[in-house]
A and B are shown apart, each in its own frame.
Chain A
């Protein structure tokens, strides 16, 4: 069976779960790009290139890091803010890095405000509204992240990345695992290192082609 490639959509109303297509999660020290298992360092470099080449690279912090429920969460919040500040500093002219929270998972009726938040039950609204072409999930519980990642892949052309504190996400286009504060800072270093080496709005080069 050829490997199922997890790429930006819009793929279909119901894209398959990558796991059901045979994709496996990385082992410690590894990550995946489009479902292909790679050394973690390669994914850091690739993720940084994607972010620097995007028009609207966006960080979506989830409840696990937005809420100060323990010391580790607070330290991760500081690191994520640092990553965002680094993005703003390093992004090429014309790019608009964003930081949009996912405060909780409640299906919000009658609507969410896509300008200020993202909701896992209809994440596409926020992506469409802000024209987000690359995003990174961090601090979102795995099951909610997988749900969102699939919806995004199904209905948008956004490149998705996941910084997962557990074993990673098959349904992201790129996923890290075992997230720590140090790894967030390391990703920021990669962004800094690659500043100026990536052309604005050249994301198609790094996404392995959209599925359309």
Chain B
């Protein structure tokens, strides 16, 4: 995993558009411990975005892309929805799937990558909306978890079908009235995190994207656990400010309000025993590494 793999042929460096030059010289490929603090300092792996101004999905994208442990060895799988309009701007390999098929595509992809690159770790990360994950794609989502497929599923939960103008989704709150669901939702928000646990996910987090450091931590954990143990699931609240009638600068406050204790996006986490042991071991190794680095510094 190194920066050397992503290089422009020297003859063509000067004719490449500046964003590509920046990508090879100033992005955090291969950087150990990359994370949200690189945002604004290093070249991000997202160019522009085509979401509504102030859409929290854009923050989520930036934090996630900054936190992937090995972006040069990651393939993301997207699905139709607001997120799919962002992928053309993303500097990580990605595949667009038919609406709902994302976890089936990711299953095949992960297996193919393991055969094609037996000596290299390749991460697969699904990123799709709640409609794709929980409604139309629910079968594929669950089946991939039952089969213990080793990839991460991230759901951008904005509690409705945003891209098509506001239809009811399984993750919508009970009673909510949307532009194209005027009667109001008649049943409760589907409890996918609980279902994920019963279906065999080893690491599950339900939270908002208001805190970049938290997003960094859960993305990293989810990808590393999926790599070593089995399926992981993140359900991130990225409110559709357009559909809930908020202004561009109100997305952050909406997330803060929804993550207060007792609210539906209060931080919730589940880890299997295997995942717990794995993370504890990782923390131990990190600690030892830091200690030896400190020692080396003191002796220098």
Contact = CB atoms under 8 A, between A and B. Distances in A.
Contacts of A106: 88-89
A41 to B, nearest CB: 27
A144 to B, nearest CB: 14
B85 A77 contact: no
Contacts of B5: 69
B26 interface: no
B293 interface: no
Interface in A73-130: 73-74, 77-78, 80-81, 99-101, 103, 106-110, 113, 116-117
B9 A74 contact: yes
Contact of A110 (B6, B8, B11, B50): B50
A56 interface: no
B11 A77 contact: yes
B17 A113 contact: yes
A106 B93 CA distance: 11
B296 interface: no
Contacts of A66: 8-9, 12, 16
A61 interface: yes
Contacts of A74: 9
B8 A67 contact: yes
A173 B113 CA distance: 37
A80 B17 CA distance: 18
B12 A101 contact: yes
A80 B11 contact: yes
Interface residues of B, number: 17
Interface residues on A, range: 20 to 34
Contacts of B7: 67-68
A73 B17 CA distance: 19
Contacts of B11: 77-78, 80-81
B300 interface: no
Nearest to B90: A106
A112 B8 CA distance: 20
A108 B91 CA distance: 12
A9 to B, nearest CB: 26
B99 interface: no
A90 to B, nearest CB: 19
A68 B88 contact: no
Interface in B78-127: 85, 88-89
A116 to B, nearest CB: 5
A68 B9 contact: yes
- What 4 A-B pairs have minimum CB-CB distances, sorted nearest first? A77-B9, A81-B11, A68-B7, A106-B88
9 contacts: A68-B8, A68-B10, A69-B5, A74-B9, A106-B88, A109-B50, A109-B85, A109-B89, A116-B17
Interface of B: 5-12, 15-17, 20, 48, 50, 85, 88-89
Given A66-B8, A109-B89, 17 more contacts: A61-B12, A67-B6, A67-B7, A67-B9, A68-B10, A74-B9, A77-B11, A77-B12, A78-B9, A99-B15, A100-B15, A101-B15, A103-B17, A103-B20, A108-B89, A109-B85, A116-B15
